[in-house]
Amino acid sequence: MCGIVGYIGFRESQPILIEGLKKLEYRGYDSAGIAVHTERGLEVTKAVGRLVNLENRLTGEPLCGTIGIGHTRWATHGKPSDANSHPHTDNSLKFSVVHNGIIENYLELKEELMLAGHRFLSETDTEVISHLISVEYEGDIVKAVQKAVRKMRGAFALGVLTEHEPDRLVAVRYASPLIIGVGEGEKFIASDIPAILEYTRDIYILEDGEMAVLTREGVELLTVEGNPVAKDVFRVNWDLMTAEKGGYDHFMLKEIYEQPRAYRDTMRGRVSEDGRSVVLPELSITAEQLRAVSRVHIVACGTAMHAGMVGKTVIEQLARIPVEVDVASEYRYRSPIITKDTLVIVVSQSGETADTLAALREAKRCGARVLAITNVVGSSVAREADDVIITLAGPEIAVASTKAYSTMLIAFFLLGLYMAQTLGTQEEAEIARVLAAMDSLPEQVESILGQAETVKGIAESIAKSSSLFFIGRGIDYAVALEGSLKLKEISYIHSEAYAAGELKHGTLALIEDGVPVIALLTQEDLFEKTVSNIKEVKARGAEVLGLVNEGHEEASAKTVDRQFAIPRTLPLLTPALSVIPLQLLSYYASLALGHDVDKPRNLAKSVTVE
């Protein structure tokens, strides 16, 4: 997704903008650009592709000046190209804008502007903003931005610069994240904290409908209507090192190996000292309100939705409340039955996914209580939900989610147990038994990670295939979906996940000699049934890798060609272990194929458009 950086201060802005944009690369982008107020006026340099292309372009002709804005673009309106890259300017070249989000009524605005003689150089919605501001400008950039914003519909975060006022930088937030960094004699804007952490830890988090006017000396916060806003500076206490690779070849591998720590952190302080109950002081939902919940909707996208599918089983089994899981982009449009006794759980690593946020708002509009599971404190989802469980995975940089997914599972285990103890649907001894098993998960993950070389060997043979299948039953099916998505997104190998019993209803036609099938067999009560489905694919020539529980290898050895065993845990908790070899499998397959593991094609870390 797009990234914004802005600077006003006493240093050269170009290196600060470029370094800041590099820190935002994890969001995914396809072009980049900067605008700097130089001694010649407002100058813009842009380049399609990676940031290095922009740097190369700037090498011969640097933009010198102490105020500037920069942007990494992830194409939404118009293909990735130099012309479509930000910053965008008006026809007089006096106003420059960087923008994250979408202006929904841009076509109508563009038509009006064209009738008034404006010429457009790009296909973007953003270019309309710079023209609108130029039209509204009467000597005060803040007022011009306010007037322009009033004409715009949609979601946006903006950074605005004008040649007329070289000592002011304007930022606006409307449903797209934006922060303001405060330094001595210098100020920053950014769409995410890592971009400016090298320079300051003091930030303001803008809310929707707020804007900031930055000068070298200070920051004025106000609403887009012009009313002053008072808020405290937020001190960031995590350091940039946590967001760096820490010796691993890729962020993804580092993040896979961080999972034992992430599990411990996510559980820390949330289990009573005697290990017999869950403590979630962050939840404000009362026991009475929880007892009134008659149904749960889990809404999320992609990997987070797969975590939600595990969450469904966890909540239904432990708390005995019916749960539906929805893809967030579908939720609003299927007229879901949301009542006051519906608990809507939104799950989002970034907390900024537009579809998930829209679903959250719809749920609230219908009067439901919303609980969020997210990895990002202060994210939109975290701020708008009634209750939040933060997964303490730490910043996840690789586009492919690993530790954020698995800590979502931990959050669901804790929540399911918490609901069960509140509702009295499980004996205290059973809750203690599950908690004890959870306590062992970090060590068990470590033991799986210790067999990474074995997985690497399997991945290298799988990487030669053009298509493969993941199958499983029950909770194994939810993990199969995640394993398949992971493989697709970073290795670009076609793969599908199927409920093992469903294959014979059509998809079996695709199974032929040598097609790899990864069969998850961790649910021993479903073992015999899954074995029958494995026999169906074996009969058609499939090469089957079984993912089994330790101690159960002998039983499956007769059916599968190869197997990988995971440590034994309670059936409900197996996803927190079985997903680990699948993450490693995708990582090594991608590596074997020579792909950019951390920045796969066509994907963004945080998808802030619907």
Residue of 189, 84, 606, 170 lying closest to 357 (CA atoms):
606
Q: How far is the CB of 250 from ligand AGP (least distance, A)?
A: 14
**CA 410/CA 215 separation, integer angstroms:** 44
Q: How far is the CB of 598 from ligand AGP (least distance, A)?
A: 11
Residue 503 identity (one-letter amino acid): L
Report, in angstroms and rounded to the nearest whole number, the Rg of the chain calculated over CA atoms.
26
Instruction: Write phi, then psi, for 117 (nearest 5 degrees).
Output: 100, 5
Straight-line distance from the first to the last Cα atom of the chain, in angstroms, rounded to the nearest whole number = 12
Q: How far is the CB of 380 from ligand AGP (least distance, A)?
A: 11
Closer residue to ligand AGP in complex, CB, 301/420: 301
Q: Which residues contact 59 (CB under 8 A, 6 or more apart)?
A: none
Given the residues 187, 312, 486, 605, the one annotated as active site: 605
Q: How far is the CB of 159 from ligand AGP (least distance, A)?
A: 23
**CA 54/CA 346 separation, integer angstroms:** 38
Closer residue to ligand AGP in complex, CB, 350/533: 350
Angle subtended at Cα 309 by Cα 306 and Cα 311, rounded to the nearest 5 degrees: 115
The CA distances from residue 175 to 102, 206, 207, in Å, are 10, 10, 8
Closer residue to ligand AGP in complex, CB, 304/580: 304
Q: How far is the CB of 578 from ligand AGP (least distance, A)?
A: 17
Concerning whether 143 is annotated as a catalytic residue, the answer is no
Residue of 238, 167, 235 lying closest to 201 (CA atoms):
235
Closer residue to ligand AGP in complex, CB, 304/417: 304
**CA 371/CA 271 separation, integer angstroms:** 19
Concerning whether 605 is annotated as a catalytic residue, the answer is yes
Strand-pair partners of 470: 497, 518
- Interacting residue ranges for ligand AGP, rule: CB under 6 A: 301-304, 348-350, 353, 356, 399-401, 489, 603, 606-607
Closer residue to ligand AGP in complex, CB, 87/308: 308
Closer residue to ligand AGP in complex, CB, 442/600: 600
**CA 312/CA 304 separation, integer angstroms:** 12
* Overall size of the chain counted in residues: 610
Q: How far is the CB of 146 from ligand AGP (least distance, A)?
A: 31
**CA 574/CA 580 separation, integer angstroms:** 10
**CA 530/CA 503 separation, integer angstroms:** 11
Closer residue to ligand AGP in complex, CB, 265/355: 355
> Does residue 281 have a cis peptide bond before it, meaning omega lies within 30 degrees of 0?
no
Tell me which residue has its CB nearest to ligand AGP: 302
**CA 158/CA 370 separation, integer angstroms:** 29
Q: How far is the CB of 399 from ligand AGP (least distance, A)?
A: 5
- Residues with active-site annotation: 2, 605
